[in-house]
A and B are shown apart, each in its own frame.
Chain A
């Protein structure tokens, strides 16, 4: 695999789904901290539209998606747990 191909797959997409209540904010903070501590290159996106959240099949928030896959729904994982999820 060439250097260009490796760079293309480097950026991870992390989505924090929640309409903005305390639990959602707590998850967003934990994600930011986990990304910084793990030293991974990631694009962190907050999805706050209720319509978009429900259209993704999420009926309980907060939710965390990594590269399009649901990894936690209806709870806010800790920084340590998120760091574990970032190892792929």
Chain B
């Protein structure tokens, strides 16, 4: 059974599993890019699924419907919290909201993602999910 599950993943099957979605602001700054990279890392680890925040913002039914039935994690780069606000506007409150700058990572227009910064965000989210 597990082998079949792995095969499906390799083929790119979209079969819904798990109940956790990561939605990152993916904004145009270092912290925005860190938010996205953290979501990618968490999804690759199998902690949940990377989901399309833009689709939620555009009120695409095919995105809103599955999000309504799952636990949502908003990952924002800065205190403006665009990701969390987009979810709020769509009537989809985040179960956990993390802001990268709250971890002492300063916002800048550079787009480079430091692996150590990304790791801190990943750990913070894992902590939040445990708590």
Q: Interface residues, chain A, CB within 8 Å of chain B?
A: 18-19, 21, 23-24, 50, 53-54, 56-63, 69-75
Contact = CB atoms under 8 A, between A and B. Distances in A.
Interface of B: 8, 11-16, 49, 51-52, 55, 60-63, 65-66, 69-70
A21 B63 contact: no
Contacts of B60: 57
A57 B16 contact: no
Nearest to B66: A74
A56 B69 contact: no
A50 B14 contact: yes
B76 to A, nearest CB: 21
A73 B68 CA distance: 10
13 contacts: A23-B16, A24-B15, A58-B62, A59-B14, A59-B52, A60-B49, A61-B16, A63-B62, A71-B65, A73-B61, A73-B63, A74-B65, A74-B69
Contacts of A72: 65
B61 A74 contact: no
Contacts of B16: 23, 60-62, 74-75
Contacts of A59: 14, 49, 51-52, 55, 62-63, 66
Contacts of A24: 15
Given A24-B15, A59-B14, A73-B62, 6 more contacts: A19-B14, A57-B63, A61-B14, A69-B61, A70-B65, A73-B65
Contacts of A69: 61
A19 B4 CA distance: 13
Nearest to B63: A57
A73 B55 CA distance: 14
A75 B63 CA distance: 13
A62 B12 CA distance: 13
Contacts of B11: 19, 50
A53 to B, nearest CB: 7
State the 8 A-B residue pairs at the shortest beta-carbon distance, nearest first: A74-B66, A74-B16, A57-B62, A70-B61, A70-B62, A73-B65, A60-B16, A61-B14
